[in-house]
A and B are shown apart, each in its own frame.
Chain A
């Protein structure tokens, strides 16, 4: 009950900021249109499948969820600096209430975001099949990584730092190393190795394989993402609990 009340408040807080709407829903769509136009101008004899809609749709679905790190992190960080959270720390709310209460609204945002991205991709030629629903669910699951990163950053840093780290650094790192915008095979070397070690590329591959109907092929990728997610959430919970018992919200 407490969790749901708090989650409802957090949802309101995020949705009442119009900038969040733009980044949450609009930005993936803008990229979708832009990159599709680029794709259309690549001559077929170049044989470059990079920006075909089957690659773009899962890539942008994942990329959209990067902004959940920004939303979650900013919200938590602002709550800390306005001492609203300090007040809640004296209430019967437990660390679990807080963490789940911050996480649920972000998941609730990812669902429509991913749905809209895929449906828009449908307009640009993505074949809409029964695999859409599992793909949306997998996108939601992989978004937990970013929500956790946001909560970790929000527990440790002020909102300006969170904005810089989650808004600028993380979007770029996750974007470039996801293989969505540049072909990893073409670049190869350290860059490709790094992309393979980090979870972002695997998030996209997980979504892409499920969208293509190969659930079993997606599992190795998703396992890597989940391992990172668990680790990040553990760190976030530790950081949050420390703030909570330190009184310096």
Chain B
């Protein structure tokens, strides 16, 4: 079974086509990177897949569950690190994490245990009691990511996860993501091409709501006759080298 199958997935805002007839299949355990200039439709795609907005047309099936007809089943399997950091400001790190775990059905004991694990994983030790609102934006980002991972999702959406992270934190996050590879299906968007080269199995390039190219990094370079991913991207995203 594929992890994600999108068929004719479309989102219109009024007359504006934000996502245009997306057909895409992503295998289980695959890390799929979505690449595209600002406004290409990456976040809109992720919002549809995570049941935040309803598609105007088409459907997506996540591990056998349709986002149109079985959103509740989908929601149990997924988690997301939204493009904007999303934490409860007046709650501490531990409270944010345990709340998230609990809302996805973990009992108190398991929530506490998983919280300890992701706290270590994201370098938040010693700050368990600190309220999220007193954090720097990079630290809030880490907490937001930890909240996505604490529920052990089978499908994970990471919308620009490393935005605002320092170099060390970014490398650590890469390591965390690598550790998930093969087990968790991940859709990742980013504007950092080295991140894509370091992490992704396959890349899809979006431009004006359409998927314009798809393949491994090597394949995209080959397809465009370029030696650098950046040059390949510029061509595929509709610019000129």
Inter-chain contact B102/A12, CB cutoff 8 Å: no
* Chain B interface, number of residues (Cβ within 8 angstroms): 30
What residues make up the interface of B, taking CB atoms closer than 8 Å to A? 47, 50-54, 72, 75-76, 78-80, 82, 84-91, 95, 99-100, 102-105, 144, 147
Interface string of A79-111 (1 = CB under 8 A from B): 100111011111111100000000000000000
* A35 and B150 alpha carbons, distance in the complex (Å): 53
Contact partners of B88 in chain A: CB under 8 A: 9, 13, 79, 84
* A16 and B85 alpha carbons, distance in the complex (Å): 21
Given A16-B90, A79-B88, A90-B52: 13 more A-B contacts, CB < 8 Å? A12-B95, A17-B90, A82-B89, A83-B82, A83-B85, A84-B86, A87-B147, A89-B52, A90-B80, A92-B72, A92-B104, A94-B72, A245-B54
Using CB atoms, name the residue of chain A closest to B101.
Answer: A5
Interface-central residue, A9, A17, A88, by most chain B CB under 10 Å = A9
Inter-chain contact B52/A9, CB cutoff 8 Å: no
* A91 and B82 alpha carbons, distance in the complex (Å): 12
What residues make up the interface of A, taking CB atoms closer than 8 Å to B? 1-2, 5-6, 9, 12-13, 16-17, 78-79, 82-84, 86-94, 245-247, 249
Contact partners of B102 in chain A: CB under 8 A: 1-2, 5
- CB<8 Å pairs between A and B, sample of 23: A1-B102, A5-B99, A5-B102, A9-B91, A9-B95, A12-B91, A17-B90, A78-B89, A79-B88, A84-B86, A84-B87, A86-B52, A86-B84, A87-B144, A87-B147, A88-B103, A89-B52, A90-B52, A91-B100, A92-B103, A93-B103, A245-B53, A247-B53
B121 to chain A, nearest CB (A): 19
Contact partners of B91 in chain A: CB under 8 A: 9, 12-13
* A5 and B104 alpha carbons, distance in the complex (Å): 11
Inter-chain contact A9/B99, CB cutoff 8 Å: yes
Using CB atoms, name the residue of chain B closest to A2.
Answer: B103
Inter-chain contact A87/B90, CB cutoff 8 Å: no
Main secondary structure of the interface of A (DSSP, over half): helix
Option from A1, A78, A91 in Cβ contact (under 8 Å) with B75:
A91
Contact partners of B82 in chain A: CB under 8 A: 83, 86-87
Inter-chain contact A92/B76, CB cutoff 8 Å: yes
Using CB atoms, name the residue of chain A closest to B87.
Answer: A84
Contact partners of A9 in chain B: CB under 8 A: 88, 91, 95, 99
Give the top 8 A-B pairs by smallest Cβ distance, nearest first: A247-B53, A87-B86, A247-B52, A5-B102, A83-B86, A90-B50, A83-B84, A92-B75
A226 to chain B, nearest CB (A): 31
Known: A9-B99, A92-B76, A245-B54. Is A86-B104 also a contact (CB below 8 A)? no
B229 to chain A, nearest CB (A): 30
B92 to chain A, nearest CB (A): 9
* A220 and B185 alpha carbons, distance in the complex (Å): 59
B17 to chain A, nearest CB (A): 16
Using CB atoms, name the residue of chain A closest to B49.
Answer: A90
